[in-house]
Amino acid sequence: MTPSPLAGGPTGPHALRPLLDTVLEALHTGAKERGGPFPAGGPDTQAARVQAALGDVLPAHGTGDHEALRTLVHTMAAGAADPAEPLCAAHLHCPPLAVATAADLAASTLNPSLDSWDQAPAASALEHLLTRALAAEFYDTPYPDALVTTGGTEANQLALLLARERHGPHLTVLHGAAAHHSIPRAAWLLGLPPAIALPTPTGTLAPTDLAQALATTPGPVLVTATAGTTDAGLIDPLHAIADLCDHYGADLHIDAAYGGLLTLSPRHRHKLAGLDRAHSITVDLHKLGWQPVAAGLLTVPDTALLAPLAHQADYLNATDDTDAGLPDLLGRSLRTTRRPDAFKIAATLRSLGRDGLAQLIDHTCDLADHLARLLDAHPRFELHSAPTISTVLFRPTDADDTQVAALRRTLLHEGRAVLGRTHTAGRLWLKATLLNPHTTAGDLDTLIALLEGSTHR
């Protein structure tokens, strides 16, 4: 029996090429069958379709590469929530750029693992250059640095871990009620005292409430602010929060997973004023950076702050190898085996450049502003507030919370639109998170018409 071909090596590209044709065709036919942003029918229907297509998960005899890919890729595409569809706008779930996805294929083919230099010579050098270049976008310091993470959750956990190592196990974490759920969860995982959530009735952390909490909280404190909340995309008053942290001797971490890439836009970077005063910053490039999952960063103003992550395993970073000049990668993550996620980011930065990414960011924010104006002018909808980044909250004017929730589920069940939901200001709101830079004003008109028709039922 001839072994199944490998993706790498001299013959790998020849083996991949016909398989890619099968994959691309199945992506096309699956999307055509879906016919919109979301598969119709609900959870039971989708589960039955997948079961019927998959059959035996581990059959006694294989069906071959092309049949397996044709069947499963088609099934996944037909049953996908496709963020490249303009009316798929519920979450911070971006459509990845083609160049980033193609780069990700190359990375998967070569399969470097960034836990030792002898597994990833070029990839480790590239990550070194990329992380320091991106960290310099957030910190004007001599030695800024960044770690590549799986996303905001891992980056936030690392930030709290580093703060605990600086200050000990009695560190208290203060955060706004609108902060990402990974903040209090990280405090729990790390054995810290329960994180304290401060009220955010206007959606952001109020300096007066923070000042009172800092004045009455004993021991070391880490304040976590947010630059782009998940519910409304709001940005905390970063300078005022940093001033209070300085005054009370507290550390500051800023979760900018959503809003951090605004720093690349001359039009929008002012919204992040004060970001560089943080001891650490979380950034996600699989949001406003249009990368395939995963592509997160934890950035710090000085690489020395990452020293507590140093770790030694003789088979990966033997002391004599390190002394001889082989790079030590093990302290660059809490993970051991690690994909070269920096590669797709580097390919995107080289392809688009600073101005290309800024154009995508600006256009996406403009779309959110346009949708907000449409909703604000429409008699059948109530706009919560003007968007800060690209999230728009709204609701039908004559609907109660139960009807708003039912409307969202109906659109999902019919596969016609994917909108999020959030509770704020005492009510349930629909949430449109616009992250697709190919969305047009006409697409937004279609969304309004669809919602208007649904509210008349």
Which residues of the chain are under the pLDDT cut of 70?
A: 1, 455-457
Q: Is 224 helix (H, G, I), strand (E, B) or coil?
A: strand
What is the reported pLDDT for 451?
A: 92
CB 253 within 8 A of CB 224: yes
3-state helix, strand, coil in the chain (%, to 5): 50, 15, 40
pLDDT of residue 273: 98
- pLDDT by residue (tens digit) across 23-58? 999 999 999 999 999 999 999 999 999 999 999 999
pLDDT tens-place string over residues 256-271: 999 999 999 999 999 9
CA distances from 295 to 11, 32, 147, 292, 421 (A): 30, 29, 10, 7, 25
What is the rounded end-to-end Cα distance, in angstroms, of the chain? 61
pLDDT at 425: 84
Query: What is residue 117's predicted lDDT score, i.e. its pLDDT?
Result: 96
At residue 449, the pLDDT reads: 93
Q: Which two tokens stand for residue 108?
A: 């998967």
- The per-residue pLDDT for 453 is 80
